[in-house]
């Protein structure tokens, strides 16, 4: 009954989406506010029905109703409750349902909080949003129905892939989807603007908060996924340039570019044509990512060819939306007036440079991800494109970009003073060179590129600090005045500083982890001691434990440094009986931003165990950086000036207040 209700709710949502796709557009043509307002109510109702459908699937998973195929294939009655819930989106059908739920959520948010949007713009935006939603509802209902029943229900389920039975799954996919799908709003805004043929600085002001929200979630989602891979997959890698990861990185790069170009458009009414294109491209890349991950084309082109229903359907959605929006763009672009002239050396110029490098980086990830697929389809030849390729093409693009980062916020709009900016960054530059010398002197071994990279990161961080210092006049005015000014600075200025500093911090982590990582690989018997980076790890012994749906072998390590006992680490290997597979649960010991990492191998016949122990210096900075970037985004989002266009009903009496 619950399954059928869920299914029915989804069909109703499709119906509502279809109404929302056309009625508001007719209303806009007829200038009929009532018809245009249909968009609002249908968007909210749609959210209600998709939400009900999602709750239905969660209920089925929690109650272990194995008469539903999706539950049978991905759940087990002994599975802990949290994994019963997260297992909902740990499979194809469920994750698509999450996808449309989040799409409906964003539509609902625009409907609920978009009171300050012009009525016809809101109608258009929600209509475009409904086109996307209808396409994906159809996709789910036709090819990936999560509510299918099994005629003869089995008593027990097949359990969820053990690698996915982790808290990471609870957070990572929803975050990622909030980011991915959130860009649909900027897409809808762009298409709506093209249909209406009207676009101005106010448009950018409305789009930017939505883009920022999506970007914050995507940033956190990618960072979460990376950390999850790092501790769960058991060999301490945190980024693999896997096509699935690339699929999330591409919208992030394009979205970051979009945030910056929308800024130019909002402040200076320039780069309109480019910003609209970027909005379309960003969501197109999200759709491409969905296609890559969901069609199975990555595992093998042949697997895709043998069961093409799903893949072809998404490919169709992809072509219609990307092709359609780009054609619309091509047809309407000439009507968009370019405004706001600026000199090459200016804030706008710096942001254009940022866009150039970010989109090129995005292109390099795109070509690296799709080239092997294309080549195999065209010539049958199989090649691999992996980390060494991206390190050579993607990596170098970030050097000029990072050098430019501190200069950007220091340049004035319209016409900037590069020499002046350089003078103000002199201290940051000197300190960065000092860092270079220090790292060079202290570091032994490792790539010669590492010290300059650290210096670059230090320059980016100090550049962000310098910007704040300059703005509040620290060291030039009395401390009290400076602090008062710091409080008065717009939150978006703080946001920029945090986000840019986060970039530098992540870079330090990446460089330290890849360059000065030390490892110990060996076979250890109880009471053996391994020495890694000054730490002594003594294997205490091996123990066995029974978990809810797995058996676990735990190794106990006593960790000490210079004879002083620090902690106990217990890496383990879990074997899951239902799927007869095992996972390696690495043990992590955090010391400051550095970590010790132990993962277990096989037990030999003599009762010894293979272990891998790593010391990863400053590895946590890799994820603190993105967290800081996301925090910067949140600060920027809370800026009063942005909130004028952000999802908040405008209060009438505010307009009566005297100007500050």
- Residue 75 CB, shortest distance to another protein, in Å, is 23
Which of the 8 DSSP states describes residue 269?
A: S
- Residue 381 CB, shortest distance to another protein, in Å, is 6
- Residue 123 CB, shortest distance to another protein, in Å, is 35
Contact between 205 and another protein per CB under 8 A: no
End-to-end CA distance of the chain: 60
Q: How many CA atoms lie within 13 A of 17 on its CB side?
A: 27
- Residue 571 CB, shortest distance to another protein, in Å, is 13
* Residue from 515, 395, 503, 514 nearest 458 by CA: 503
**Residue 542: Cβ within 10 Å count:** 19
Contact between 179 and another protein per CB under 8 A: no
Q: How many CA atoms lie within 13 A of 56 on its CB side?
A: 24
Nearer to another protein, 346 or 594 (CB): 346
Beta strands in 483-571 (DSSP E): 518-524, 529-532, 535-546, 551-561, 564-569
Contact between 541 and another protein per CB under 8 A: yes
- Residue 243 CB, shortest distance to another protein, in Å, is 7
Name residue, tokens 């409305």: 206
| Token digits of residue 203 | 């448009």
Nearer to another protein, 26 or 375 (CB): 375
Beta strands in 214-332 (DSSP E): none
Q: Is the dihedral of CA 184, 185, 190, 195 positive or negative?
A: positive
Strands 535-546 and 529-532: antiparallel
For another protein (CB under 8 A), the number of binding residues is 63
Given phi > 0 = left and psi -120 to 50 = alpha, else beta, which region is 473?
Answer: left
Candidates 141-149, 356-364, 455-463, 557-565: pick the segment binding another protein (CB under 8 A): 356-364
* Binder among 603, 634, 638, 643 for another protein (CB under 8 A): 603
* Binder among 364, 572, 594, 595 for another protein (CB under 8 A): 364
Residues 147-176 that bind another protein (CB under 8 A): none
Q: What angle do CA 564, 568, 570 make, to 5 degrees?
A: 155
Contact between 571 and another protein per CB under 8 A: no
H-type alpha helices, 380-478: 387-404, 418-424, 426-442, 450-472
The Cα–Cα gap between 581 and 4 comes to: 33
| Token digits of residue 505 | 């911090």
Binding mask 505-524 for another protein (x = CB under 8 A): ----------------xxx-
- Residue 341 CB, shortest distance to another protein, in Å, is 5
* Binder among 80, 323, 339, 344 for another protein (CB under 8 A): 344
Max CA separation in the chain (angstroms): 83
Name residue, tokens 């925090």: 631
- Residue 560 CB, shortest distance to another protein, in Å, is 21
Contact between 299 and another protein per CB under 8 A: yes
Q: What share of the chain is helix, strand, coil (3-state, %, to 5)?
A: 65, 10, 25
* Binder among 113, 240, 398, 413 for another protein (CB under 8 A): 240
- Residue 369 CB, shortest distance to another protein, in Å, is 10
Contact between 113 and another protein per CB under 8 A: no
| Token digits of residue 344 | 């090459």
Residues 394-433 that bind another protein (CB under 8 A): 394, 397
Candidates 251-259, 287-295, 366-374, 558-566: pick the segment binding another protein (CB under 8 A): 366-374
* Binder among 33, 388, 420, 548 for another protein (CB under 8 A): 388
Nearer to another protein, 101 or 346 (CB): 346
Contact between 556 and another protein per CB under 8 A: no
* Binder among 62, 78, 532, 610 for another protein (CB under 8 A): 610
* Binder among 371, 377, 483, 649 for another protein (CB under 8 A): 371
| Token digits of residue 287 | 């759709």
Contact between 570 and another protein per CB under 8 A: no
The Cα–Cα gap between 202 and 12 comes to: 35
* Binder among 206, 228, 241, 494 for another protein (CB under 8 A): 241
The Cα–Cα gap between 41 and 648 comes to: 18
* Binder among 11, 543, 545, 568 for another protein (CB under 8 A): 543
Q: Are 36 and 19 in contact (CB under 8 A)?
A: no
Residues 55-94 that bind another protein (CB under 8 A): none
- Residue 532 CB, shortest distance to another protein, in Å, is 14
Please enumerate in sequence order all residues whose Cβ is within 8 A of that of 629, keeping only pairs 6 or more positions apart, or say none. Answer: 219, 498, 499, 502, 503, 506
Give the dihedral of Cα atoms 421, 422, 428, 430; nearest 10 deg.
-160
- Residue 563 CB, shortest distance to another protein, in Å, is 25
- Residue 218 CB, shortest distance to another protein, in Å, is 21
Q: Which residues bind another protein (CB under 8 A)?
A: 234-235, 237, 240-244, 298-299, 341, 343-344, 352, 356-357, 359-360, 363-364, 367-368, 371, 375, 379, 381-389, 392-394, 397, 521-523, 526, 541-544, 551, 553, 573, 575, 580-582, 584, 601-605, 607, 609-610, 612
């Amino acid at each position: 009954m619950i399954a059928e209700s869920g299914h029915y709710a989804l069909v109703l949502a499709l119906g509502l989406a279809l109404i929302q796709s056309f009625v508001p557009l007719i209303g806009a043509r007829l200038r009929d506010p009532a018809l245009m307002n249909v968009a609002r109510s249908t968007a909210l109702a749609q959210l209600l029905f998709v939400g009900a459908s999602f709750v239905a699937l969660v209920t089925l998973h929690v109650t272990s109703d194995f008469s539903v195929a999706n539950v049978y294939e991905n759940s087990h009655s002994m599975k802990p409750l949290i994994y019963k819930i997260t297992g909902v989106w740990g499979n194809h059908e469920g994750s698509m349902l999450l996808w449309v739920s989040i799409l409906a959520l964003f539509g609902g948010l625009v409907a609920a909080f978009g009171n300050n949007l012009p009525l016809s713009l809101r109608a258009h935006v929600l209509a475009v949003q409904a086109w996307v939603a209808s396409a994906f509802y159809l996709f789910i209902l036709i090819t990936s129905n999560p509510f299918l029943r099994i005629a003869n229900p089995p008593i027990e389920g097949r359990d969820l892939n053990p690698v996915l039975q982790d808290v990471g799954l609870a957070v990572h996919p929803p975050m990622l989807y909030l980011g991915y799908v959130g860009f649909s709003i900027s897409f809808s805004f762009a298409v709506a603007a093209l249909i209406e043929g009207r676009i101005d600085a106010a448009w950018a002001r409305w789009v930017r908060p939505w883009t920022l929200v999506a970007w914050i979630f995507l940033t956190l989602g990618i960072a979460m996924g990376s950390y999850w891979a790092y501790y769960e997959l058991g060999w301490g890698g945190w980024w693999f340039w896997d096509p699935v990861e690339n699929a999330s990185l591409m919208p992030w790069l394009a979205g970051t570019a979009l945030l910056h170009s929308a800024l130019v458009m909002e402040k200076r009414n320039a780069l309109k044509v480019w910003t609209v294109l970027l909005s379309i491209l960003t969501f197109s890349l999200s759709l491409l990512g969905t296609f890559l991950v969901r069609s199975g084309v990555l595992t093998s082109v042949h697997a895709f060819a043998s069961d093409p229903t799903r893949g072809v359907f998404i490919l169709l959605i992809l072509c219609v939306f990307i092709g359609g929006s780009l054609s619309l763009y091509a047809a309407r672009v000439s009507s968009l007036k370019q405004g706001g002239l600026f000199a090459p050396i200016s804030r706008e110029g710096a942001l254009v440079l940022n866009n150039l490098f970010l989109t090129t980086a995005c292109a390099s990830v795109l070509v690296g991800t799709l080239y092997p697929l294309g080549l195999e389809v065209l010539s049958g030849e199989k090649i691999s494109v992996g980390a060494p390729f991206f390190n050579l093409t993607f990596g170098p693009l970030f050097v000029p970009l990072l050098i430019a980062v501190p200069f950007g916020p220091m340049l004035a709009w319209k016409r900037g003073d590069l020499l002046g900016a350089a003078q103000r960054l002199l201290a940051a530059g000197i300190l960065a060179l000092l860092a270079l010398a220090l790292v060079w002197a202290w570091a032994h071994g490792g790539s010669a590129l590492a010290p300059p990279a650290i210096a670059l990161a230090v320059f980016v961080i100090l550049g962000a600090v310098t910007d704040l210092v300059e703005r509040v006049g620290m060291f030039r005015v009395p401390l009290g005045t400076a602090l008062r000014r710091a409080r008065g600075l717009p939150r978006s200025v703080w946001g920029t500083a945090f986000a840019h500093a986060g970039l530098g911090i992540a870079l330090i982590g990446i460089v330290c982890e890849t360059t000065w990582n030390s490892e110990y690989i060996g076979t250890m018997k109880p009471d053996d001691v391994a020495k890694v980076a000054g730490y002594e790890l003594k294997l205490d012994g091996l123990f066995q434990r029974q978990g809810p749906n797995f058996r676990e072998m735990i190794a106990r390590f006593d960790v000490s440094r210079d004879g002083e006992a620090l902690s106990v680490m217990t890496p383990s290997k879990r074997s899951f009986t239902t799927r007869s597979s095992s996972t390696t649960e690495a043990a992590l010991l955090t010391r400051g931003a550095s970590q010790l990492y132990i993962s277990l191998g096989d037990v030999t016949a003599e009762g010894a165990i293979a272990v891998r122990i790593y010391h990863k210096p400053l590895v946590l900075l890799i994820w603190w950086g993105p967290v800081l970037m996301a925090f910067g985004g949140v600060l920027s989002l809370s800026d009063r000036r942005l909130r004028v266009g952000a999802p908040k009903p405008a209060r009438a009496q505010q307009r009566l207040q005297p100007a500050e």
